[in-house]
């Protein structure tokens, strides 16, 4: 249950602002604490307010509602009658749309402000806004504001050009704009409604028809206007079809704005399908816009960034894809494995080897120290640059680092495989594996690779495999991994052993080994199960003692009443002759724990301890089978 910050503050003597500020300093991604902190800034001084809004919006730039609240705070503390306040608010909105250029709500708020207080700059801002978010399903309000602005400027040519652009832009509310356009067009001439290029095309088409040569100038203007309106209507109808096709996807979304909470699985699936459809049917601009729209609610989903970067690299070039990768790493996913490596690939492709090396060093030392993919990329970068000595120094350096079990095993296997397959240096490969047996004793991939290496390269593989089996079974591997390794050993051994008796003996040894391990596990489980009731019993001791104290007087009274009767019955009973009871040794069960004196499993099949150990096995499990010692094969 979360602690109320106000209650915590009262107990610790801190204000809610201090408590929440410490919370976000400790965890900058604590979205809830951030929102609570910002909600308490109304009474704070302007510098404090600016400080926390700047920090929050630097961390979460897609929260358009908080950009608006930031501007509202500035207006509250200043006045829109003062140019200083207008400039300050404009600066905030400028940074907002720069941080999230494809956020339609951000542009709607900004243009509501700009069309009132920045009239001179508004037209350029409107043009930029509709070029970025004009196709967004929620762009209707933006187009409305744009049309109102141009109408207020009393420039019919500019408004006509805007309508021409609007009617060819696919967005959700497009169908509602045909009637307003026709109302506007009815009051204008064709020279105003058409651009110069369009007018020339219309006149050429009109004059090329022999039937039009005898028509008057008035009829000519009427026909040209009708031809233009028909062309507009054709474009409008085609654009509506695009809207309908995209609406199949758009209407399924539940959330199109950014939030720190996860996106629903239905929305994620819809984005995947929508992007795939757009990649087939859209243009470069429409695909770009859809990716940017997707990355507003899905800003923390690596898969969409990777897909965007890969497409941009193919369609827009190396530079654009690098910009997208940098934006992802700087603002949203600084530790994304795929994005980090994608950027490294882009840097290498750009030909800046030294910068790529520095970036790889940053990945493996600072950003993701145990990122195996980063280590491998760094090594292979040097190999691609024909720097074999540098690559081997890196391998040696990383093999001496103490990472996790999986990472240690992977690095050693990678290094040994390099010397085996690339350098053809079997001695060095064996040295790498042998020197790291203790360090990698819990790594199953290490033991598998080691066994395969010996099986493939050893001069006497049977002897080598027997020795490695002993090392592996005596290692700190878990039971399931040892079981897998033993099975792999049997597969390898069966292909190089020349005596079927030895193979049978190995299989028997395997069966007995499984029994021994199973017995040890059951004994351990039994000890654990016996320990739990004793702990529960200890907890109930006090209660039982109290109950016994309360019932003791009553029990003593009952015993005193029954004692004369029991003595009388004993005198009447004949004396029974006591017979000695037979002492029987309980039968040993399969899976029961082995006697402690048996010790650990011997690893040398030629030693007397080996034969003695399995002789005890046979006796213990009731097997009348003499131990046979396999003859090592060469």
What tokens appear for 308 in the block?
A: 């965007």
d(CA 263, CA 453): 47
List the one residue out of 98, 93, 43, 33 whose CA is nearest residue 68. Answer: 93
pLDDT of the residue at 543: 53
What 3-state DSSP class applies to 624?
Answer: coil
d(CA 39, CA 37): 5
Which residues lie closer than 8 Å to 516 by C-beta, 6 or more apart?
Answer: 594, 601, 617
**pTM to 2 decimal places:** 0.75
C-alpha to C-alpha distances, 321 to 98, 318, 628, nearest whole angstrom: 18, 5, 68
Which residues lie closer than 8 Å to 321 by C-beta, 6 or more apart?
Answer: 309, 310, 312, 313, 346
Half-sphere exposure of 387 (CA within 13 A, CB side): 14
Please write down the HEC assignment for all residues of 393-408: HHHHHHHCCCCCHHHH
pLDDT of the residue at 620: 46
Which residues lie closer than 8 Å to 511 by C-beta, 6 or more apart?
Answer: none
pLDDT of the residue at 616: 56
- Residues in the chain predicted with pLDDT less than 50, given as ranges, are 1, 547-548, 550-551, 553-597, 614-615, 617-634
DSSP string across 323-338:
HHHHHHHHHT-TT-HH
> Cα 530 to the chain's mean position, in Å?
43
What tokens appear for 545 in the block?
A: 């003692």
Give, as one character, the DSSP assignment of residue 301: -
Contact (CB, 8 A) for 172 and 250: yes
Contact (CB, 8 A) for 439 and 472: no
pLDDT of the residue at 625: 38
Helices 64-77 and 46-59: crossing angle in degrees, nearest 10, is: 170
Answer positive or negative: Cα dihedral of 262, 267, 273, 278.
negative
C-alpha to C-alpha distances, 408 to 151, 203, 405, nearest whole angstrom: 70, 78, 5
d(CA 368, CA 355): 18
Q: What phi and psi values does residue 25 have, to the nearest 5 degrees? A: -70, -40
Question: Widest CA span of the chain, in angstroms?
Answer: 150
DSSP string across 131-170:
HHHTTSTTTHHHHHHHHHHHHHTT-HHHHHHHHHHHTTS-
10 Å CB burial of residue 179 (0-12, 13-18, 19+) is exposed
């Amino acid at each position: 249950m979360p602690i109320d910050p106000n209650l915590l503050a009262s107990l610790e003597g801190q204000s809610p602002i201090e408590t929440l500020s410490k919370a976000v300093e400790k965890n900058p991604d604590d979205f809830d604490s951030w929102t609570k902190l910002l909600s308490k800034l109304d009474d704070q001084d302007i510098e404090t307010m600016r400080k926390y809004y700047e920090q929050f919006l630097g961390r979460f730039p897609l929260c358009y509602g908080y950009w608006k609240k930031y501007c509202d705070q500035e207006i509250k503390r200043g006045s829109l009658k003062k140019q200083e306040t207008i400039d300050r608010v404009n600066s905030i909105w400028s940074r907002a749309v720069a941080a999230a250029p494809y956020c339609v709500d951000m542009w709607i708020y900004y243009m509501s402000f700009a069309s009132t207080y920045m009239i001179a700059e508004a037209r350029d801002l409107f043009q930029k806004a509709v070029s970025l978010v004009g196709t967004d399903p929620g762009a209707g309000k933006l187009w409305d504001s744009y049309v109102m602005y141009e109408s207020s400027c009393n420039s019919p040519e500019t408004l006509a050009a805007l309508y021409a652009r609007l009617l060819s832009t696919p967005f959700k509310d497009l169908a509602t704009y045909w009637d307003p356009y026709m109302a506007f067009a009815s009051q204008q001439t064709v020279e105003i409604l058409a651009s110069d290029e369009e007018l020339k095309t219309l006149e050429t088409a009109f004059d090329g028809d022999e039937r039009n040569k005898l028509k008057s100038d008035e009829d000519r203007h009427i026909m040209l206007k009708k031809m233009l309106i028909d062309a507009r209507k054709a474009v409008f109808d085609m654009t509506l079809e695009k809207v309908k096709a995209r609406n199949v996807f758009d209407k399924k979304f539940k959330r199109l704005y950014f939030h720190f909470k996860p996106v629903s699985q239905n929305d994620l699936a819809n984005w995947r399908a929508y992007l795939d459809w757009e990649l087939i049917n859209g243009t470069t601009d429409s695909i770009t816009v859809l990716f940017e729209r997707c990355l507003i609610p899905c800003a923390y989903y690596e898969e969409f960034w990777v897909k965007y970067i890969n497409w941009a690299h193919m369609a827009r070039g190396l530079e654009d894809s690098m910009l997208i990768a940098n934006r992802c790493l700087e603002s949203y996913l600084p530790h994304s494995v795929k994005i980090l490596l994608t950027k490294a690939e882009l840097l290498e492709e750009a030909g800046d080897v030294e910068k790529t090396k520095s970036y790889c060093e940053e990945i493996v030392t600072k950003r993701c120290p145990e990122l195996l993919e980063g280590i491998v990329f760094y090594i292979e970068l040097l190999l691609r640059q024909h720097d074999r000595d540098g690559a081997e120094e890196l391998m040696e350096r990383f093999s001496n680092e103490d990472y996790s079990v999986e990472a240690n095993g992977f690095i050693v296997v990678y290094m040994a495989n390099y010397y085996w397959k690339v350098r053809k240096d079997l001695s060095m490969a064996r040295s790498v594996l042998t020197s790291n047996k203790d360090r990698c004793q819990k790594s199953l991939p290490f033991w598998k690779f080691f066994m395969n290496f010996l099986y493939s390269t050893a001069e006497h593989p049977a002897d080598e495999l027997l020795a490695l089996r002993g090392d592996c079974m005596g290692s700190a591997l878990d039971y399931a991994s040892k079981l897998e390794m033993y099975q792999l050993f049997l597969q390898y051994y069966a292909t190089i052993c020349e005596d079927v008796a030895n193979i049978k003996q190995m299989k028997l040894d395997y069966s007995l080994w499984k029994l021994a391990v199973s017995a040890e596990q059951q004994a351990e489980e039994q000890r654990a199960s016996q320990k739990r009731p004793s702990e529960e019993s200890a907890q109930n001791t006090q209660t039982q003692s109290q109950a016994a104290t309360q019932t003791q007087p009553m029990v003593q009274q009952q015993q005193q009443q029954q004692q004369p009767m029991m003595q009388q019955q004993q005198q009447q009973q004949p004396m029974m002759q006591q017979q000695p009871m037979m002492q029987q040794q309980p039968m040993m069960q399969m899976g029961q724990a082995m006697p402690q004196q048996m010790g650990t499993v011997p690893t040398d099949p030629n030693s007397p301890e080996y034969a003695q150990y399995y002789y005890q096995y046979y006796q213990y499990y009731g097997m009348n089978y003499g131990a046979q010692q396999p003859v090592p094969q060469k």
